[in-house]
Amino acid sequence: MMALNLFQLFRGEWLKIAGNRWVVIFLIWIFPAAMLLVGVAAILFALLTEDFREAQRLTGVAPWNESLLSTWDIVNNQIGRWVILAFTANIFAGEYTHGTWKNLIIHRRRVTLIINKFVTLAVFVTAAFVAVSIINGIASGILASILDIDYGLSNAGAVMGEFIKDYLLQMFITLTGTFIVASFAALAAMITRNVLASVIVGVIINMVETVGVVFFFGLVDWLLKINLFELYRYLPTYSLENINSWIGFSRGLDTSFAGQEYIAPSLEMSLLVVVLWAFGLVALTAYLFQRQDISS
């Protein structure tokens, strides 16, 4: 009964978001659509031009498992982050802009509503990037067969267990990163109560977290001779990059600041850091929303 009730809540949010067609097309379905376009273009070029086939044979085609995995980190690069920020801003600030929070809050606990929004957002992102991943996998497979390159399917059975583990880990990292960025936008939406303003404030928060903090540490080091750079290694963006470095290159992302070398934290430590950030920011969003007056 409880599960059915929560599913209804999720379905309501899904209908609401999906109904805002242009927003969903331009901020979510654009990823699989773009991947489809790129894939089809690559296949057509491979079929039609010898030069392209030659060039592609030199660069090669990644095996199926790498093709399926490689698309997941799009969300965690800056462009991907901005798109997620804009999408989240629409989901959260849209309720203020349309004046619809008052319809929802009366009958559901605010915490439930906020968590439901994050969950629905995560489902949209997951659906889009699973689609991107599958399209890339299929397109790369077709390309490999046109070019007569081994796509690694013959030993698929042997690496399947490892692949599933990596795939789930990559999904988990992407979603954790999504929650962090989405929280920036959600917090901005709560402050500004406007979609455009929350995108702008969300982008500013994101930039402060990535670049601004380093600038601030530099300033503190220069003015007060206090080195705070150690803290940078516990910020979300660095931790996500460190995780990607561990997964991609089997080594951490060592850094240097003011002439001092910093050894990267372990994969487990960075995973813990991003999970704590994601939980903390979602909890902060829920807490602030719980205390907010809905006066529009």
Partner 1 sequence: MTVAIQLQGLTKHFGRWKKRIVAVKDADLTVEAGQVYGFLGPNGAGKTTTIRMMLDLIRPTEGTAHIFGKNIRQNHEVLRRVGALVEGAKFYPYLSGRKNLEVLARTNGNYDKQRVMRLLEQVGLAARANQRYKGYSTGMKQRLGLAAALLHDPELIILDEPTNGLDPAGIQEMRTFIRDLVHQHGKTVFLSSHMLNEVEQVCDRVAIINKGEIIREGAVSVLLETQARVRIQAQPLEKAASLLQERWQVSLNGEQPHTTFVVESAADEVPHIVRRLVENDIDVYEVTSYRQSLEAFFLTVTHDNEKEKTS
Question: Amino acid letter at 29?
Answer: W
Piece in contact with partner 1 (CB under 8 A), picked from 18-26, 124-132, 190-198, 244-252: 18-26
**Interface with partner 1 in residues 261-280 (CB under 8 A):** none
- 49 contact partners, CB below 8 Å, separation of at least 6: none
Task: Please report the sign of the dihedral spanned by the C-alpha atoms of residue 204, residue 210, residue 216, residue 218.
Answer: negative
Fill in the per-residue mask, 91 to 130: x = in contact with partner 1 (CB under 8 A), - = not in contact. Answer: ---x---xxxxxxxxxxxx---x-----------------
Give whichever of 70 and 97 is closer to partner 1, judged by the CB atom.
97
**Could you tell me the smallest distance in angstroms from the CB atom of residue 292 to partner 1?**
9
**Could you tell me the smallest distance in angstroms from the CB atom of residue 28 to partner 1?**
15
The residue from 5, 49, 227, 260 that contacts partner 1 (CB under 8 A) is 5
**Could you tell me the smallest distance in angstroms from the CB atom of residue 31 to partner 1?**
21
Confirm or reject binding of residue 295 to partner 1 (CB under 8 A): yes
d(CA 60, CA 81): 29
Written as one string, the DSSP assignment of 215-255 is: HHHHHHHHHH----GGGGGGSHHHHHHHHHHHHHHSS---E
Confirm or reject binding of residue 196 to partner 1 (CB under 8 A): no
Confirm or reject binding of residue 26 to partner 1 (CB under 8 A): no
Which tokens belong to 47? 């079929």
The residue from 50, 148, 261, 293 that contacts partner 1 (CB under 8 A) is 293
Under rule CB under 8 A, how many of the chain's residues touch partner 1?
A: 29
Query: What is the enclosing helix (H) or strand (E) of 184?
Result: helix 156-192
Give whichever of 9 and 62 is closer to partner 1, judged by the CB atom.
9
- 227 contact partners, CB below 8 Å, separation of at least 6: 217, 221, 257, 258, 260
d(CA 65, CA 59): 17
CB 72, CB 264: distance < 8 Å: no
d(CA 117, CA 120): 5
d(CA 163, CA 159): 6
Piece in contact with partner 1 (CB under 8 A), picked from 13-21, 39-47, 183-191, 213-221: 13-21
**Could you tell me the smallest distance in angstroms from the CB atom of residue 121 to partner 1?**
16
What is the contact surface with partner 1 in residues (CB under 8 A)? 5, 8-9, 11-13, 15-16, 19-21, 94, 98-109, 113, 291, 293-295
